[in-house]
Amino acid sequence: MKKVGLSILLGAFVLISSAQDVLTIADDNISLEEFKNVFYKNNHNADISADYLNEYMELFVKFKLKVREAQELGLDTIPSFVNELDGYRKQLAKPYLKNEEFDENMLTEAYERISFDVNASHILIAVDEKATDDEVKVAEQKAITIKKDILDGKLSFGDAAKKNSDDKSAVSNRGELGFFTAFMMVYDFENAAYTTKIGEISNPVRTKYGFHLVKVNDKRKAVGQVKVAHIMFKTGQGADENKLNQAKEKINKALQLLNKGEDFADVAERFSEDRSTAVKGGELPAFGVGKMVPEFENNAFELKNIGDISVPFRTEYGWHIIKLIEKEEIPSFDEVKVELKRKIERDSRGDLSKKALYEKLNDIYKVINKPAVYTSFRKGAANSVATGTFEKLNNNKTLVTIDGMSVSINKFSEYILAYQSVGSDIDAMYIDFVNEELLAYEESKLEEKYPEYKALLQEYREGILLFDLTNKKVWTKAVEDTLGLQAFYDANKSNYTWEKRLDATIYSCIDLTTAKKVKREIYKKHRGTITNADILVKINKDDALSLQIESNKFVKGANKNVDAIEWKTGISKDIVLENGSYIIIDVHEVLASGKKELSESRGKVISDYQTALEKDWLASLKAKYAVTIHTDVLHSLIK
């Protein structure tokens, strides 16, 4: 994105034909409307002067000259540019490739559903997504028969779930799922749960897992989210009576401490056997419906006021007491809208959104299939597609047309080669292929249909071109052209000079005792018997923070302690800081002002060289392309 940022600096270009041209570069006319869209995007001042317009036009001219040169060099045709722009194009197109009415309805429905919780039970009759028609019919009929037996009173829903459900948990929970809300189940299952009345059983619902019978036990206004802390004594699943009683006795003693006024967090930290939360005062992350075991969830949501504490209760994991820390209601639609959109895109609803878009495009564009051509092709290809062994055919016959645009069998063959696998269905692949072609056709029309999309894509296009060419002509060249950099430095040495500097070592000592020891060691260093590294190891043997050492060449203003001493060689007077620590500065040499070597000023030289390269480059572009600014048109914007 950093490439595009250079273009964004000047704004999006909306290319609208206009009788008034504000700028001409060679044979390219830039309209006043285009300039206005750029200018007003970056300027919101009420007063616009001639001088300000002229300055802004200079920036605009430089930008347009570079883009023109990039086009002349064919940079917009090289594969790396085409691929990068295509990636941006696909991202920018996404908001336009939607059935907006359908998506709005899905968004409204999602919010309405998260506003309510549903308690349901289910029976699953498993069937594979790729099952044969006969296998699907058998599974569906089994579900229908089970529902009839329940309605006829032959057995309860729970008994039927325990006996027939392919959801293995039904053996213990009799199909009960507890409360849940939108996005927690696959969409078709969710639909059945939210549209079936309390006490009733849905018709068999097909999902990727099989057929479900859904019985709705209860519905309630959504409870939102809570954050609680808990104290827990573990029992574990299958604990014997003795283990259960020990845990219960511990939880009752914890309750007694709380009733005597002891802090919940302190009791949790001292006694709770959930040590991962005990160290945080028992606090758990916030959670909503369906995220905890039912007993824990029910007790948490029954707490009404912040600070309320539950009675001891048991789950399959042990005994708990919980305290309510935070309680959040369902947020408003505007607050949760963006999050819901993301969930819809990730959810199976996203597939429904695509389907709705395809239906919309089929209504907009004239799609004509060629049944005879498809049937002929299908005869020779269906079996190999089903085994994943299809090989491309050379057949240019038209298979389908979209608003008169022909799509050949060859193109469908390429699609099959890209997506075939064992078990592929050629008819399903053909439907998907036509939809993808329809989508690609719509994408090709976006610039015609949406001026703002065209402008934004132009912005990205010119931004990439500008970056690539400037990188080649200026930024990378300044770094890699070592001979040119040296020549530039030699010609401009007087611009790179040192101020007067102090070559010194600063010893930061934690206290006076340490400072005295360090000073003795500095004298040894002067005699050449030890180094700063030796001093650091020796002084910090017992305390790693006793001494810190910094050696450098300091200019005025670089270090306040260096500024505070007299600039002469030798050990300075001690500097005592407010916190009782001591600063000792050993001055090695006072360096007079002088020229910097290239190695000492490389970063600044490269920056200046880049500026010079760009200046020379722009001069050559102005010589190459005639630039005419239509001042009278430009100044019509003066306010």
Domain shared by 607 and 471, yes or no: yes
Which residue from 330, 359, 65 is spatially nearest to 221, judged by alpha carbons? 330
Domain shared by 379 and 323, yes or no: no
Regarding pTM above 0.75, the answer is: no
Q: Rounded to whole angstroms, how far apart are CA atoms 75 and 466?
A: 10
Last-in-domain residue among 328, 351, 386: 328
- Residue 35 burial (C-beta neighbours within 10 Å; 0-12, 13-18, 19+): buried
Domain shared by 314 and 459, yes or no: no
Domain shared by 167 and 214, yes or no: yes
Q: Rounded to whole angstroms, how far apart are CA atoms 452 and 180?
A: 42
- Indicate whether 225 pLDDT > 50: yes
Q: Is position 83 within any domain?
A: no
Which pLDDT band holds residue 327 (cuts at 50, 70, 90)? very high
Domain shared by 5 and 140, yes or no: no
- Indicate whether 69 pLDDT > 90: yes
Which pLDDT band holds residue 393 (cuts at 50, 70, 90)? confident
Q: Is position 476 within any domain?
A: yes
Give per-residue pLDDT as tens, 143-187.
Answer: 999 999 999 999 999 999 999 999 999 998 999 999 999 999 999
Which residue from 529, 521, 567 is spatially nearest to 547, judged by alpha carbons? 521
Q: Domain count of the chain? A: 5
- Rg (C-alpha) for the chain, rounded Å, is 38
Q: Which of 229-233, 348-352, 590-594 has the lowest mean pLDDT?
A: 348-352
Q: Is position 379 within any domain?
A: yes
Q: Is position 613 within any domain?
A: yes
Q: Is position 107 within any domain?
A: no
- Quick check: 515 and 574 in contact, CB under 8 A? yes
Give per-residue pLDDT as tens, 445-497.
Answer: 999 998 888 888 988 898 899 999 999 999 998 889 899 999 999 999 999 98
**Range(s) of the domain holding residue 557:** 497-595
Q: Is position 12 within any domain?
A: yes
503's enclosing H/E stretch is strand 501-509
Which pLDDT band holds residue 19 (cuts at 50, 70, 90)? low
| 614-632 average pLDDT score | 94
Last-in-domain residue among 162, 189, 221: 221
Domain shared by 133 and 199, yes or no: yes
- What residues contact 37, with CB distance under 8 A and at least 6 apart? 11, 12, 13, 14, 455
548's enclosing H/E stretch is strand 547-555
Q: What is the mean pLDDT of the chain?
A: 90
Q: Rounded to whole angstroms, how far apart are CA atoms 13 and 451?
A: 10
Beta strands in 222-261 (DSSP E): 225-234
Give per-residue pLDDT as tens, 428-451.
Answer: 999 999 999 999 999 999 999 988
Domain shared by 489 and 510, yes or no: no
Domain shared by 209 and 236, yes or no: no
pLDDT at 430: 96
Domain shared by 491 and 610, yes or no: yes
Domain shared by 233 and 150, yes or no: no
The better pLDDT of the pair 100, 630 is held by 630
Give per-residue pLDDT as tens, 190-209.
Answer: 999 999 999 999 999 999 99
Which pLDDT band holds residue 14 (cuts at 50, 70, 90)? very low
Q: How many helices (H) and strands (E) does the chain have?
A: 27, 20
Backbone angles phi and psi of 508, in degrees to 5: -100, 110
Q: Rounded to whole angstroms, how far apart are CA atoms 55 and 45?
A: 15
pLDDT at 516: 95
Beta strands in 209-294 (DSSP E): 210-221, 225-234
Amino acid at 573: K
Residue-by-residue DSSP string for 30-82: EEHHHHHHHHHHH---S---HHHHHHHHHHHHHHHHHHHHHHHTTGGGSHHHH
Q: Which residue has the tokens 């006694």?
A: 271
- Indicate whether 46 pLDDT > 70: no
Which CATH number do you get for residue 168?
3.10.50.40
> For the sheet containing 405-408, what is the strand order?
367-369, 398-402, 405-408
Tabulate helix, strand, coil % of the chain (nearest 5): 55, 20, 30
Which residue from 172, 189, 181 is spatially nearest to 301, judged by alpha carbons? 181
Q: Rounded to whole angstroms, how far apart are CA atoms 625 and 27?
A: 9
Last-in-domain residue among 308, 328, 348: 328
| Overall size of the chain counted in residues | 639
Q: Rounded to whole angstroms, how far apart are CA atoms 240 and 259?
A: 29
- Indicate whether 511 pLDDT > 90: yes
Domain shared by 569 and 611, yes or no: no
Domain shared by 292 and 252, yes or no: yes
Which pLDDT band holds residue 347 (cuts at 50, 70, 90)? confident
